[in-house]
């Protein structure tokens, strides 16, 4: 497999609703919240596509140097690859689930870089090691971290409020839904425990109980970002608001892993 080229797959930056924005690209999503007391960014993609994120911010009238905290969903290169560079540029703090710390600082070579034909060299020490239930307040915005291990041990989902004039919504960002790192092939290759599967099942059951109006994914396919963007452009200002979507996706992800396990068992 050749190395991917994320800079070749840009996506138009846009306002999702109110103070919530999309500045990611096709390989990986990045979302920004303007708290009124600085910006928060959730995932930053690869270092090689960080210029697209920064350009997107400027095009939306947002100054990257106003970023206060970089929240990372999990320790894979397509979500934290550009974090060290963005921190150097902005002075922002990086927050990451504590169990993924060794992914970020290079102690464990599990960032999925090799599988993508890449090398993760932009290692860093997180400024904030997140634990389940941690809450952060920025102006009128509150961000709650929810531990959702499985895809990686430290995968974190984020629940936070979004303001659109006088209306408030609850947004949720799933922390890591890929079953690729829970397959028999991947776990055996790295000598990892199969217990991550039970952790994932429990996490998805837990997420399904959360009340979320705006479902965000850390890849654009998770929440159908392109399709919703087209609806938004066509005049549907609530294209991303769907109180049923979040729970349905969490249960779908659980079933997806169940199906993989069944296929592995059938294969012997």
3-class secondary-structure state, position 163: strand
Q: With left for phi above 0 and alpha for psi between -120 and 50, is residue 3 left, alpha or beta?
A: beta
According to the model, what pLDDT value does residue 20 have?
98
Phi and psi, residue 40, nearest 5°: -115, 135
Quote the tokens at residue 124. 């860093």
Quote the tokens at residue 141. 């915005």
For the chain, domain boundaries? 16-267
According to the model, what pLDDT value does residue 124 have?
98
**Using CA atoms, how far apart are residues 202 and 207, in angstroms rounded to an integer?**
9
Strand ranges inside 166-218, DSSP E: 167-173, 214-216
**Using CA atoms, how far apart are residues 234 and 68, in angstroms rounded to an integer?**
33
Partnered with residue 137 across adjacent β-strands are 142
Strands 39-42 and 141-147, bridge-based pairing? unpaired
Strands 67-71 and 93-97, bridge-based pairing? parallel
- How many C-alpha atoms does 121 have within 13 Å on its Cβ side? 4
Strand ranges inside the chain, DSSP E: 14-17, 20-22, 31-34, 39-42, 67-71, 93-97, 128-130, 135-138, 141-147, 156-164, 167-173, 214-216
Mind listing the pLDDT tens digit of every residue in the chain (268 residues)? 567 788 888 999 999 999 999 999 998 999 999 999 999 999 999 999 999 999 999 999 999 999 999 999 999 999 999 999 999 999 999 999 999 999 999 999 999 999 999 999 999 999 999 999 999 999 999 999 999 999 999 999 999 999 999 999 999 999 999 999 999 999 999 999 999 999 999 999 999 999 999 999 999 999 999 999 999 999 999 999 999 999 999 999 999 999 999 999 999 7
According to the model, what pLDDT value does residue 8 have?
86
pTM exceeds 0.85, yes or no: yes
Cα distances from 227 to residues 51, 128, 221, 230, 236, in angstroms, run: 24, 34, 9, 5, 12
According to the model, what pLDDT value does residue 4 have?
79
Kindly calculate the radius of gyration of the chain based on its CA atoms and give it in whole angstroms. Answer: 18
According to the model, what pLDDT value does residue 2 have?
61
Quote the tokens at residue 46. 């690869």
- Longest CA pairwise span in the chain (Å): 57
Distance, CA of 30 to chain centre: 7
Asked whether the beta carbons of 20 and 215 are under 8 A apart, the reply is: no
Helix 83-90 vs helix 50-59: crossing angle, to nearest 10: 50
Cα distances from 122 to residues 87, 117, 266, in angstroms, run: 11, 15, 41
The verdict on domain 16-267 having CATH code 3.90.1150.10 is no
Question: Residue 185: which residues within 8 A CB-CB, separation 6 or more?
Answer: none
């Amino acid at each position: 497999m050749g190395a991917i080229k994320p800079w070749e797959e840009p996506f138009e930056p846009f306002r999702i609703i109110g103070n919530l924005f999309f500045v990611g690209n096709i390989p990986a999503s990045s979302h920004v919240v303007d708290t009124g007391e600085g910006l928060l960014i959730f995932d930053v993609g690869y270092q090689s596509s960080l210029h697209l994120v920064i350009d997107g911010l400027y095009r939306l009238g947002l100054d990257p140097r106003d970023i206060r905290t970089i929240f990372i969903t999990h320790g894979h290169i397509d979500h934290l690859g550009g974090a060290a560079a963005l921190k150097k540029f902005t002075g922002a703090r990086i927050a990451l689930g504590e169990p993924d710390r060794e992914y970020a600082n290079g102690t464990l070579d599990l960032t999925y870089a090799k599988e993508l034909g890449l090398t993760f060299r932009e290692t860093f020490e997180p400024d904030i090691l997140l634990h389940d239930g941690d809450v952060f307040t920025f102006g009128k915005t509150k961000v709650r971290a929810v531990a959702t291990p499985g895809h990686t041990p430290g995968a974190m989902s984020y629940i936070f409020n979004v303001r659109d004039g006088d209306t408030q919504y609850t947004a949720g960002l799933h922390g890591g839904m890929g079953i690729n790192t829970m397959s028999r092939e991947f776990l055996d290759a790295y000598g990892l425990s199969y217990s991550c599967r039970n952790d994932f099942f429990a996490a998805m059951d837990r997420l399904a109980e959360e009340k979320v109006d705006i479902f965000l994914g850390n890849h654009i396919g998770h929440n159908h970002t392109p399709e919703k963007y087209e609806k938004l452009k066509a005049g549907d200002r609530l294209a991303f608001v769907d109180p049923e979507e979040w729970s349905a996706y969490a249960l779908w992800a659980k079933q997806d892993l169940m199906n993989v396990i069944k296929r592995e068992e059938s294969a012997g």
